[in-house]
Structure 1
């Protein structure tokens, strides 16, 4: 990893964050005393000054799933379909946190990932709010620093302006949004870059200067993105099904997120709470027809 990009990522992850988010990160880690290695804070809440009423997003990095859960079936679920996602409340704030092992966090930020969900997020700003020790810090930083080169390398053959670094970012984010079931309004991918173009210019130039990972070109690149998009949407549905077992109140969270991002007014019926998996799946056709998720 080139020194310039690694330095930028290190500084960004160490930048100040809301003290309540820092406290929440520590409280999440405390739930896994034998396994917790790092807690990262990411998402739109990073830009908010008032966190009340918002859903904060964290990743908990653990040494391995057996250490995190013991012999529980949750370890197998996390290993087979990473990550597991759980709700959390602390000091009046609400959040969700996703659990990944150190090995999976590194792999899913790299070109070896078979889906976009992790590197698409950590190519964006994040904060490293809690670490077990220096080795855990170095591991988390190295993994997160792989995200931007991964995104840009896959976006480059898909843009008509491969030397325009901001166009590369916008192309990459647009493609990743099509690789998940995202409850976002049209143009969200561009707004990510517009929120801090200088940041994306600096990170992009550093990634290009170090040399991007090799990626296919032309028809092969388009084929790879179709595969990522197909797999990503299947994984989104599978994770939704898994969350109905692991995430308390998951269907209410799903409705809240869609309403917040897509401007809809979905209300969950009692039977959907009673059978959350079936209830969540029945939302999908209506959401596709309405364009709330793509």
Structure 2
């Protein structure tokens, strides 16, 4: 089966009706600009959604049409994505906003960071779309994400292993080093272990795409290692900038950051009332301590 067919089938798999209802509500919040809503993250594997924060990407056709306030459109275009807090029928979510052009770029080898393609190389679901054209646009973009991971990872490996899951493991290890992450070391391996056959099938198909298109041909391990180093330096900086930007758009942002770090890193962070009221200050004041302790990397 082709990679596009595998991804299309995966995107179309059913989800909890409450997830679909929330996705529709997210799309409606941005009116006619909404093209599609993609569900991703750890909640995708959970049956019990209460007490968790769902993760969505909203894809729009134009940032200016998606917002009532011009500064939000400019911020989204300058440093994508914007991230928002959302509640619907007892569930809580955060959703990031990208336009179709940024989605296509950020899942490809032209991506400015690993943030989008590293997530979309994992299983995701298309839980709302405006029309069939929007569905095809999402399928094409998401199908590029594993290709990008394999094209970026294979040159690093002295001998390309027969088992594609070894490539996934190294790829996720590199992407986790390219962002400020609260998850423990080895998280990439646990993601693969959750469905090894899926990763093997998608990985084999992605490897064929890389070879057919010659995406890694002539790329030395040294050159690719330098590219990863640049992405990792840039990714850490972008993580801080996006965190600061989210403090202006995300209600309860400081509490969410603390909850996520505590959940994944096993810490017991408690915020002061001042930090809760000033999420940007909370992020800045917590960051040095978290880096020293290894809670985020």
Q: Does 1:271 align with 2:271?
A: no
The 2-side partners of 1:160 and 1:244 are apart by 43
Q: Indicate if the aligned counterparts of 2:150 and 2:210 stay in contact, CA closer than 8 A.
A: no
- Secondary structure in 1 matching 2:56: strand
Q: Does 1:227 align with 2:230?
A: yes
Q: Indicate if the aligned counterparts of 2:275 and 2:282 stay in contact, CA closer than 8 A.
A: yes
Cα distance per residue 1:80-114 (max 9 Å; x no partner)? 00000000111111100000000000100000001
When normalised by structure 1's length, the TM-score is: 0.97
Q: Indicate if the aligned counterparts of 1:159 and 1:167 stay in contact, CA closer than 8 A.
A: no
When normalised by structure 2's length, the TM-score is: 0.96
How many Å apart are 1:159 and its aligned residue? 2.4
Equivalent position of 2:194 in the other structure: 195
Equivalent position to 2:292, from 278, 281, 289: 289
User: Where do residues 40-51 of structure 1 align in structure 2 (5 Å cutoff)?
Assistant: 40-51=38-49
The 2-side partners of 1:160 and 1:292 are apart by 31
How many Å apart are 1:21 and its aligned residue? 0.4
Cα distance per residue 1:48-73 (max 9 Å; x no partner)? 11111111000000001001014520
How many Å apart are 1:274 and its aligned residue? 2.9
- Secondary structure in 2 matching 1:136: helix
The 1-side partners of 2:277 and 2:208 are apart by 53
User: Where do residues 190-269 of structure 1 align in structure 2 (5 Å cutoff)?
Assistant: 190-212=189-211, 214-215=215-216, 216-269=219-272
The 2-side partners of 1:31 and 1:114 are apart by 28
| Unpaired runs of at least 5, structure 2 | none
The 2-side partners of 1:274 and 1:126 are apart by 33
- Structure 1 moving runs of 4+ over 4 Å: none
May I ask how many residue pairs the two structures share in their alignment?
292
Judged with a 3 Å threshold, the aligned counterparts in structure 2 of structure 1 residues 92 and 71 are, in CA distance, closer, same or farther, namely closer
Equivalent position to 2:51, from 50, 53, 57: 53
Q: Does 1:183 align with 2:182?
A: yes
Give the root-mean-square deviation of aligned CA atoms: 1.1
Equivalent position of 1:158 in the other structure: 156
Q: Does 1:280 align with 2:263?
A: no
| Unpaired runs of at least 5, structure 1 | none
Cα distance per residue 1:197-230 (max 9 Å; x no partner)? 1001100111122335624322111100000000
Cα distance per residue 1:1-21 (max 9 Å; x no partner)? xx7000000000000111110
Equivalent position of 2:134 in the other structure: 136
Q: Indicate if the aligned counterparts of 2:41 and 2:119 stay in contact, CA closer than 8 A.
A: yes
Equivalent position to 2:101, from 100, 103, 120: 103
